[in-house]
Chains A and B, each alone.
Chain A
């Protein structure tokens, strides 16, 4: 599927959801993925494709000044940009994070660092605000019912699968084997 021909909708995106227990990989653009990988991505992130609405697509992209947008089903919002972030440290008012661009023109694949206001973190996500934890930073664009354009950013912490006892025990075993095989002087 060509990158410019698909519109995707995001449903219940990340908020309060537990994604399936799969390896944590940073997705590239869903539109640019091979079909199987793309289907996996859509399933994992709960993004649902709603078809090729060229007119809506063009309208949103023109208003936002970018050819690449994702419309959010059930809302007027259009996704302009998205980064996968990891919290590195936390200050009084900001947290410092590494970001990897995963969606948007001039954004995808780029590594960045940023300060993000802690006030942008929802109360329900505050428990996840710790170094090493992952989140998504999104920029949305929408036109309100009275025709007013609005842009906004959203920080959503990812509720990754929990470490499983079985996996940890297996890792411990591998680590033990690795350690026993090392010759230390």
Chain B
């Protein structure tokens, strides 16, 4: 699901057990509510007992909005995140950016800090995602990243960003953390799904999809026939090795677009969708390209001043869309689209 900015996934693991991957906010209707939580409640799922696994792929604000609410509402769930996030350096960094008078804005930091506090208070175990780590057996859920090398690089970044006395207060801005994303595979008896998070390609085979494919080839894996396309379908998330080695021919592809930033740079661009269509049997996008947010309420004098000052606003409307895929054992996937979701192929 995705509101044009942000994405989350809920997966029914069977027997009334659920998994939540990331969280986003329904900014149009209930900005204070976690979209996956709202979805599950609408289905009548008792999250307190039914959510068994919560996974945070990385800490970008479009993946973590409202995740503390999910954790709070799901006391029975195991919590899993990048191994880098379980390290002392990161926990101290999050504290430094979140505590008391040091608390500058930065939803990603405060959300994560809140999550750690909840887990701490509950004495819950924090599961560190790493390549080839099996989280459960039925269905088999495997994390494929981040590598130790990537985690080390991330912690170096955290060390550089750690606030120092005398520096002006600032917000924590995640610096290209996509390569630390947790890619997850879910393998049922007769089908598999690959959740590509925001993972990207990299020239260094120890990083990005190169490292993941290498691990998967070594440890063994089941080719997936459904993929949550990595990194919003962008070209930086594309890696031929992922499509050729980890996916079956003509998979079902789902893209969660990125609705922020300059309009012509927001993934997926038309060329990205064409590329993914060529590789897929069917492609769905959780939210069609959103129209610009109306500035009609803003005084004309202000709008003109911004325009004359070459200050460009990029805000878009944010309409939630959901792609729902369901199947029974031995049968084909059926799909339903809600809200702003569209079929691209």
Measured CB to CB, the residues of A under 8 A from B are 21-24, 26, 64-66, 80-81, 86, 88-89, 96, 104-107, 110-117, 120, 128, 130-134, 137, 139, 141, 151-153, 159-165, 167-168, 170-172, 174-176, 178-179, 181-185
Contacts and interface: CB of A to CB of B under 8 A. Distances in A.
A128 B168 contact: yes
A179 B314 CA distance: 39
A172 B125 CA distance: 22
A67 B78 CA distance: 53
Contact of A139 (B93, B116, B302): B302
A37 B8 CA distance: 37
A49 B299 CA distance: 24
Q: How large is the interface on B (under 10, 10 to 19, 20 to 34, 35 or more residues)?
A: 35 or more
B277 interface: no
A41 to B, nearest CB: 17
Given A115-B262, A178-B91, A172 B96 contact: yes
Contact of A163 (B116, B126, B167, B299): B167
B301 A64 contact: yes
Contact of A132 (B93, B116, B171, B315): B171
Given A106-B296, A111-B315, 16 more contacts: A24-B169, A26-B105, A89-B173, A113-B261, A132-B173, A137-B311, A139-B306, A161-B169, A163-B165, A171-B96, A171-B102, A175-B92, A178-B116, A178-B117, A185-B125, A185-B126
B95 interface: yes
28 contacts: A24-B169, A65-B299, A80-B299, A81-B305, A104-B302, A113-B260, A113-B261, A115-B262, A117-B311, A120-B309, A131-B173, A139-B301, A141-B301, A151-B301, A153-B309, A160-B104, A162-B168, A163-B102, A163-B169, A167-B100, A170-B99, A171-B98, A171-B100, A175-B95, A175-B99, A176-B88, A179-B92, A183-B125
B119 to A, nearest CB: 7
Contacts of A134: 104, 170-171
Contacts of B105: 24, 26, 86
Contacts of A181: 120, 123
Given A106-B299, A115-B312, A153-B311, A172 B95 contact: yes
B306 A153 contact: yes
B259 to A, nearest CB: 10
Interface string B167-195: 11111110100000000000000000000
Interface string B285-296: 000000001011
B75 to A, nearest CB: 15
A81 B306 CA distance: 10
A151 B95 contact: no
B136 interface: no
A113 B91 contact: no
Contacts of B163: 163, 168
Nearest to B300: A65
Contacts of B124: 183
Contacts of B262: 96, 115
Contacts of A139: 301-302, 305-306
A128 to B, nearest CB: 7
B241 interface: no
A177 to B, nearest CB: 9
